[in-house]
Amino acid sequence: MIAAFLILLVLIGGWEAYARLGHVDEFILPAPTQVATALWDDRGLLWHNLLVTAQEIGLGILLALALGALLAIVIHLSPTLRRVVYPLLVGSQAVPIVIIAPLLVVWFGFGIAPKLAIIALVCFFPVVVTTLDALAAVDPEQRKLLHTLDASRWQEFRWVEAPAALPGALSGAKIAVAVAVIGAVFAEYAGSSAGLGNVILQAIPQLETARAYAAVVLLAAFAILLFLLLTLAERLLVPWARRDTEWSGR
């Protein structure tokens, strides 16, 4: 913990020194102290917009989790759909968001809907992959055993596959946290009236680079918070699957 804090301190110190002494214009790279000042001076504006973006990201990830888990289950249950749908899903990840973002704005307007669509789109794929892997990892012997206990296909799913898939889906959501933040900023760039992406979009042409960086710091902090929340959810929901994916180690 102390080591982590020291490393962070050294990194910030290096950044400060470079920004102050490295002949870089503050409009290109503000020093951490300037970012901190902007963070404090614009706190009202930033807080208000953070709430907007946080809501988009939170709901977007929940949507991705539901959608991803559902798709994984459908693909898992039907070999035909696996052959048809899975390649399409992989293909969907190659579509640059910039191309379809305007289309989504045309369809859904400037409200929260197109933001959720974009975040879900960039986030659902890791959830599908990790959930499918978890479903495939179910021991075939386990199926035999349930069969001799007279379990139906539905009961096999309910008792074995669904609980096995849950930690997989949550792992996918943890992977998705970082891209969710990027997706939210993209979505706000494509058309928005509020949110931290919107703040960045407006701050840069106004040469308020420190404010843009302050927004980025908040986005990063929010991503960390979300990751921790998902780790907590994992602990509460799947206590049997404690793995070394936590920062604190074991």
Partner 1 sequence: MTTRLEASDREPRTTAEGHGGVALRDVRFAHPGRGRRAAPVAAVDGVTLAVAEREIVALVGPSGCGKTTLLELVCRLMEPDSGTLASAPAVLMPQRDLLLPWLDALDNAALALRIHGAGRDEARAGARPLFEAFGLEGFERARPYELSGGMRQRVAFLRTLLSGKPVLCLDEPFGALDALTRTEMRDWLGAALTREPRTTLLVTHDVEEAAVLADRIVVLTPRPARVAAILEVPLPRPRRGTDPAVVALREQALEALGA
Contact positions toward partner 1, by CB under 8 A?
139, 141-142, 144-151, 155, 159-160, 163, 238-241
- CB of 116: closest distance to partner 1 in angstroms? 31
- CB of 171: closest distance to partner 1 in angstroms? 16
Query: Residue 105 burial (CB < 10 Å; 0-12/13-18/19+)?
Result: buried
The number of angstroms, rounded, from the C-alpha of 222 to the middle of its chain's C-alpha atoms is: 10
Nearer to partner 1, 36 or 146 (CB): 146
Nearer to partner 1, 24 or 149 (CB): 149
Nearer to partner 1, 17 or 232 (CB): 232
CA gap 235, 217 in Å, rounded: 27
Nearer to partner 1, 29 or 241 (CB): 241
In order, the DSSP letters of 125-139 are HHHHHHHHHHHHTS-
Q: b/e per residue, 14-53, with b = 16+ CB within 10 A?
A: ebeeebeeeeeeeeebbbbebbbebbeebeeebeebbebb
Nearer to partner 1, 92 or 155 (CB): 155
Residues belonging to the chain: 250
Nearer to partner 1, 5 or 240 (CB): 240
Which one, of 200, 230, 241, 209, lies nearest residue 19 by Cα?
209
Return contacts of 83-92, CB within 8 angstroms, 24+ apart: 89/125, 89/128, 90/125, 92/121, 92/125
- CB of 170: closest distance to partner 1 in angstroms? 13
Nearer to partner 1, 10 or 149 (CB): 149
- CB of 241: closest distance to partner 1 in angstroms? 7
Q: Centre a 10 Å sphere on the Cβ of residue 228 and count the other Cβ atoms it contains.
A: 14
- CB of 148: closest distance to partner 1 in angstroms? 4
- CB of 168: closest distance to partner 1 in angstroms? 13
- CB of 238: closest distance to partner 1 in angstroms? 7
Which one, of 194, 198, 195, lies nearest residue 206 by Cα?
198
CA gap 123, 176 in Å, rounded: 5
